[in-house]
Structure 1
């Protein structure tokens, strides 16, 4: 991205701490500009409404002007320690929980198949997978806001969407503004949704029901 050499000053007029982005009004041009927490030069305090920021003008991938290389005009705030909201997210814990969730999910799926009750258990599986997938998006989004190098593998997020968590993933993408602007991820995500829909349609079809019936050992 091309950047101007002239530093500018702006005042924060909107800040969404959970999503890590906001808008400021440039004092030089009086234009409203988008900015993101990742574009701060140093990790210090979190922005708040009416904070004065120094920045350089740049453009996003769509050619729209944005504020980057941000610093607080207040020297004390610039040197302040990161707030509790920017503490390191323990993604190793999230991956450990993922392992337990996969084990429990697989066990419930096998039990449903053995008793021939998969169609009746599907709503529960979808709710569980969606809630867990949303939580994973939250953890990854928080790590992104903090600028952590360690992130959850995208393949893991797509896996949980495939096993039924895609409604939760879709909600997280919209509510948390996470992963929705990455073309490759979105392309894979919608292929995963299509694959999941085709699998469920087959399981609920006559051939799928016959297949489930052959697997059932304890069904009537």
Structure 2
């Protein structure tokens, strides 16, 4: 029985199309072994963990997933990066082995030593205030617990970012900083290279630091001490 016209040619074309698709996939993956390409992150959705890189030489945007970023960092819009061009299972181009170019971010490299020094200085000042009876010991103890909780909150959020799990809301991190956990937050940010690039988060974090310092300055003042004693808290 004769086969319908065109059917045999369609079946012959399918393997050829698959071969072309496979050859394209292999060519794109081969480029991943070449020299890294420069580009910049022009779109980034932090909650979803993906975005797009625009190559410096022009051309279509390249898909970027957070799992492709080396060093455990988290991109932000405007970051200058280098990457290798790879391909998904469907042959679509995507970035691999993404590395940040520090000179292009406009930010200084992490300094965990400076953050640790800041935290130790804050602890020394609080201890001195307690010794001089300028601050109730229970407030200093509460601040120590908040800082410990803040450090572990940042560590858990970093681990969740790496594993693609549910993240700690940024509002929670800001509340912990406002309650006095910002010294531990500074240490965690630099130690884990976490929340150091997102400018909106950095601005809100600085506001929490200023507000907390203002409240503590008032508490150790004569007016603050009088208020604490008036309410039986001093």
Computing the radius of gyration from Cα coordinates, the structure with the larger value is: 2
The two structures have a TM-score, normalised by structure 1, of 0.51
Contact 1:119/1:204 (8 A) holds in 2: no
Q: Which residue is equivalent to 2:32?
A: 9
| Residues 68 and 147 of structure 1, relative CA distance in 2, 3 Å threshold | farther
Q: CA deviation at 1:138?
A: 1.0
Residue pair 2:157, 2:168 contacting (<8 A) in 1 also: yes
Counterpart among 180, 184, 187 of residue 200 in structure 2: 184
Query: What is the RMSD computed on CA atoms of the aligned residues?
Result: 3.4
Are residue 215 (structure 1) and residue 231 (structure 2) matched? yes
- 1:120 aligns to 2:137 (yes or no): yes
**Counterpart position of 2:212:** 196
Question: 1:62/1:122 Cα in 2 relative to 1: closer, same or farther (>3 Å)?
Answer: same
- Cα distance in 2 for partners of 1:199, 1:136 equals 23
**Mapped contact 1:161–1:192 kept (Cα < 8 A):** yes
Residues 38, 146 of structure 1: 8 Å contact kept: no
Q: Any idea what the Cα deviations from partners look like across 1:133-179, whole Å, max 9, x if unmatched?
A: 1101111111110112x211111111111111111111110001111
> Paired residue for 1:143?
160
Tell me: higher relative CO, structure 1 or 2? Use CA pairs within 8 A at least 6 residues apart: 1
Maintained 8 Å contact 1:137/1:157:
yes
Q: Under a length normalisation based on structure 2, what TM-score does the superposition of the two structures give?
A: 0.48
Aligned residues: 133
- Segments of 5+ residues of structure 1 without an aligned counterpart are 11-27, 41-46, 48-58, 72-115
| Match of residue 38, structure 1, among 66, 72, 76 | 66
Q: CA deviation at 1:37?
A: 7.9
Do residues 66 (structure 1) and 72 (structure 2) align?
A: no
Corresponding residue SS for 1:152: coil
